[in-house]
Amino acid sequence: MSNPGDLILAATLPELSFTATAIPNANAALQSPLTALTFTAQAVTRTDVALVGNFPPLSMLGEARYQSYAVRPVTGQCATCWQHATGHSTGAEDRREATVHEHAPIHARWQGSASWVVGVESRRTSTRVRAPLSRQTWYQEAAPVQIRAGVGHADAIRLRTARGSAFEEAVRAGWLRWAIGHQDGWRDRRHTATSRFDASLRHAGRFHAEEIQSAVYLRRWWRSLFQAAMRPLPGRHPSVPFVPPVAPACYVPSAHLLFTEDAAQDGDLLFVCEPSATSSDGSVLIPNRRVYFVINEVTLTRWPEGTPVPVLGLSLSLDADSWAWGFEATLPLIAEALVVPDEGASPVELIATVNGTAFHVLAENLSRERVFGDASIRISGRGRSAALAAPYSPVIAFANTEPRSAQQLMEDVLTFNGIPLGWTVDWALTDWLVPTGVFAKQGTWIEALITIVGAAGGYLLPHPSEKTLRVRHRYPVVPWDWWTDVTPDFVLPVDTVGRESLRWIDKPAYNRVFVAGQEAGVLGQVTRTGTAGDVLAPMVVDALITQAAAARQRGIAVLADTGRQIEVTLRLPVLQETGIIEPGAFVAYQDGGVARLGIVRSTRIDAGLPEVWQTLGVQSYA
Domain boundaries, given as residue ranges, for the chain: 7-63, 100-233, 509-560
Phi-psi map region of 550: left, alpha, beta (phi>0 left; psi -120 to 50 alpha):
alpha
What is the β-pairing status of strands 540-541 and 357-371? unpaired
Q: Exposure of 585 by Cβ count < 10 A (0-12 exposed, 13-18 middle, 19+ buried)? A: middle
Question: Count of CB atoms within 10 A of residue 597's CB?
Answer: 19
Widest CA span in the chain: 166
| Interval 168-208: pLDDT, tens | 555 555 544 444 455 555 555 555 545 555 555 555 444 45
Q: How many residues does the chain have?
A: 622
What does residue 495 show for φ and ψ, rounded to 5 degrees?
-70, -20
| Interval 524-553: pLDDT, tens | 999 999 899 999 999 999 999 999 999 999
Q: Looking at the predicted structure, is the pLDDT value of residue 91 above 60?
A: yes
Q: How far apart are CA 330 and CA 343, in angstroms?
A: 22
Task: Give Rg (Cα) of the chain.
Answer: 45
Q: How far apart are CA 218 and CA 313, in angstroms?
A: 43
Is 384 strand, coil or helix?
A: helix
Q: Looking at the predicted structure, is the pLDDT value of residue 146 above 80?
A: no
H runs (alpha helix) in 321-457: 336-339, 406-413, 445-454
Is 446 strand, coil or helix?
A: helix
Q: Looking at mean pLDDT, say which of 65-69, 223-227, 317-321, 371-375 comes out highest.
A: 317-321
Average predicted confidence (pLDDT) for the chain? 76
H runs (alpha helix) in 487-588: 548-560
Q: Looking at the predicted structure, is the pLDDT value of residue 576 above 50?
A: yes
Q: How far apart are CA 427 and CA 330, in angstroms?
A: 36
Listed range (130-134, 336-340, 475-479) with the worst mean pLDDT: 130-134
Instruction: Please give the C-alpha separations between residue 19 and each of 56, 57, 515, 561, in angstroms, as whole numbers.
Output: 16, 15, 37, 36
Q: Looking at mean pLDDT, say which of 140-149, 330-339, 596-605 comes out highest.
A: 596-605
Q: Full-prediction pTM beyond 0.75?
A: no
Q: Looking at the predicted structure, is the pLDDT value of residue 106 above 80?
A: no
Instruction: Please give the C-alpha separations between residue 521 and each of 408, 411, 561, in angstroms, as whole numbers.
Output: 18, 22, 24
Confidence of residue 231 (pLDDT cuts 50, 70, 90): confident
Confidence of residue 135 (pLDDT cuts 50, 70, 90): very low
Phi-psi map region of 452: left, alpha, beta (phi>0 left; psi -120 to 50 alpha):
alpha
DSSP bridge pairs for 442: 397
Q: Looking at the predicted structure, is the pLDDT value of residue 318 above 90?
A: yes
- What is the signed CA dihedral for 561, 562, 565, 568, rounded to 10 degrees? 10
What does residue 616 show for φ and ψ, rounded to 5 degrees?
-105, 135
Q: Looking at the predicted structure, is the pLDDT value of residue 241 above 50?
A: yes
Q: Looking at the predicted structure, is the pLDDT value of residue 117 above 60?
A: no
Alpha-carbon torsion (85, 89, 90, 92), positive or negative: positive
